[in-house]
Structure 1
Amino acid sequence: MEVFTEKVLYIALFILVIHTIETLAYAVRMSGARVGRIASALALFNLMVIVSRMANMMQQPFTGSLIDAAPVENTLAFVEDQYRIIIGASTVGTLAGIVLLPTFIALFSRAIVHLSNNGGSVPVLLKTFTTKDYFKRGLHLFALPKRSYLKGFSLSNIPKRLFFVNMLVTSIYTIGVLSALYAALLAPDRASTAIMASGLINGVATILLVVFVDPKISVMADDVIQKRGSYSQLKNVSLLMITSRLLGTLLAQLLFIPGAHYIAWFTKFIV
């Protein structure tokens, strides 16, 4: 059987879009600091997070169906190859988010202002930004990253712990569902337990992100508004977090199989 099927392509595209959205979420705080409206920016940020999480939940049954459609012979290797393609799509999606970052900082800056001016109504905002006129304006804002965008970027004050925590959390979130599904193949007698563990894994990854990463970026954005910090510093740290996110999707390739074995082993203590 061919590994790269039409279903794998659709799932990979879905994952690509999810990781592009989550990468672009970093642009929201930068836009909020840019226009001086952090509260409105956080509302837009939360909306993007909810959309990406919902999209991630929607793709899970389709990803699981790849196991049901796998051949009887050489099942593990076949499923592994398919899942590695999907993990690779997360890396491509993150790269796409990096390429689109300057464009969406400009778009989100306008969206945040509109959201504040219309009383915080997201439906009104979506209605406004889906009109033909605003779509044309959005095309005029398209800009690829330039070397000048890195002006002032410095590695001297890198928050190393934040960098590695974000990288680890990203890798866990990327493979949480996939490793759990693969663990079901490794321990067929505990398959249901292994599959349900994916929710726990992603939940832990989300908690780590909320506790260790998000507050620090939000505080830095507040400091820009309060004139206690610079926008350049916020941009530097945001670019650093995006880089760690990209490396996290690459780390996911290394942790995929060990993670599946760990889940399969852990289920022994549950059943």
Structure 2
Amino acid sequence: MDYFTGKLIFIILFIFIIHSIETLAYAVRLSGARVKMIASALSLFNIMVIVSRLANMMQQPFTGSLIDTAPKENALEFVEVQFRMLIGASTAGTLFGILLLPTFTALFSRAIIHLSAEKGSVPSLMKRLLSPQYIRRGLNHFSFPRVQYLKGVKFKEFPIRLFFINMLITAIYTIGVLSALYAALLAPERAATAVMASGLINGIATILLVIFIDPKISVIADDVVNRRGSYIQLKSMSIMMIASRLCGTILAQFLFLWGAKYIAWFTRFIV
């Protein structure tokens, strides 16, 4: 059975880019702390988050259409294979973001300085950054991670509980829509209820992220700017969060079916 279609490849690329962007968002705080401009860095961070969320919303109807176009025979198996490919794309996108982390940390540092020079005008900043001159300059800063990048990072000081919390939140966020769509196949008589549950799941994951993860990194970034903490500590925390995120996308493969069955079961109490 041919599981690959042009539509599936399009969605895979979309998810790959989304998770790459979300991974590289961690580089913004590192860049802001490096140039001592946290507020400007957060404005760029918010732009990246908005772009990522918008892209995620755009791909959801296409992902949903995989359910509608699935063959009647062995529909569960067919859709499961396709959805696991999409989860794999999130892992690949995260890995790609990790490979580009040192490069984007350097580029974001310059982007933050340019944002200040442009008086906070994002369109002017984009016009400057997309000019051939700056594109060539950016390519000169391209480099893959090296062992030296981990110099000074203290793995023993990683807060293990925070690592696993972020991993679980990432896994939930990764499978939220996919598990809800698959639950619609498991409980076709409650399909609409199951699909709409995806918004609740992703909303809860986002709230948990804002409550437990973002404040920790923000406080460390502020300490670096105010000279109460070290840049190495912030880099260590960022690397831990990225590693946790990668593990979360892998964990999503194991939670996918369980999440779908749980949603299908839970909808019985709503309808």
* TM-score, scaled relative to structure 2: 0.99
The aligned amino acid for 2:232 is S
**1:193 and 2:193 correspond:** yes
Distance across 2 between alignment mates of 1:31 and 1:254:
34
| Aligned equivalent of 1:36 | 36
The aligned amino acid for 2:124 is V
| Aligned equivalent of 1:120 | 120
Quote the RMSD (CA, aligned, Å).
Answer: 0.6
- Residues 75-154 of structure 1 mapped to structure 2, 5 A cutoff: 75-154=75-154
The aligned amino acid for 2:220 is M
Distance across 1 between alignment mates of 2:246 and 2:270:
34
| Aligned equivalent of 1:25 | 25
Give how far 1:158 is off. Answer: 1.1
Query: 1:183-205 deviations in whole A, cap 9, x for unaligned?
Result: 00000000000001101111110
Secondary structure of 1:156 counterpart: helix
The aligned amino acid for 1:251 is L
Give how far 1:177 is off. Answer: 0.3
Q: Alignment identity in percent? A: 70
The aligned amino acid for 1:8 is L
Query: 1:39-67 deviations in whole A, cap 9, x for unaligned?
Result: 00000000000000000000000000011
Give how far 1:261 is off. Answer: 0.4
Distance across 2 between alignment mates of 1:145 and 1:160:
24
Give how far 1:269 is off. Answer: 1.1
Distance across 1 between alignment mates of 2:4 and 2:174:
19
Secondary structure of 2:73 counterpart: coil
The aligned amino acid for 1:254 is F
Distance across 2 between alignment mates of 1:112 and 1:75:
49
Give how far 1:117 is off. Answer: 1.8
**1:167 and 2:179 correspond:** no
Number of residue pairs aligned between Structure 1 and Structure 2:
271
Give how far 1:16 is off. Answer: 0.3
Unaligned runs of 5+ in 2: none
Distance across 2 between alignment mates of 1:70 and 1:222:
50
The aligned amino acid for 1:64 is G
Distance across 2 between alignment mates of 1:141 and 1:133:
13
The aligned amino acid for 2:55 is A
Give how far 1:127 is off. Answer: 1.0
Give how far 1:93 is off. Answer: 0.2
The aligned amino acid for 1:74 is N
Distance across 2 between alignment mates of 1:158 and 1:139:
33
Distance across 2 between alignment mates of 1:28 and 1:71:
44
| Aligned equivalent of 2:68 | 68
The aligned amino acid for 1:19 is H
Give how far 1:255 is off. Answer: 0.3
Distance across 2 between alignment mates of 1:122 and 1:219:
26
Query: 1:141-184 deviations in whole A, cap 9, x for unaligned?
Result: 10110000010121221111211111011000100000000000
| Aligned equivalent of 1:222 | 222
Displacement over 4 Å in runs of 4+: none
Unaligned runs of 5+ in 1: none
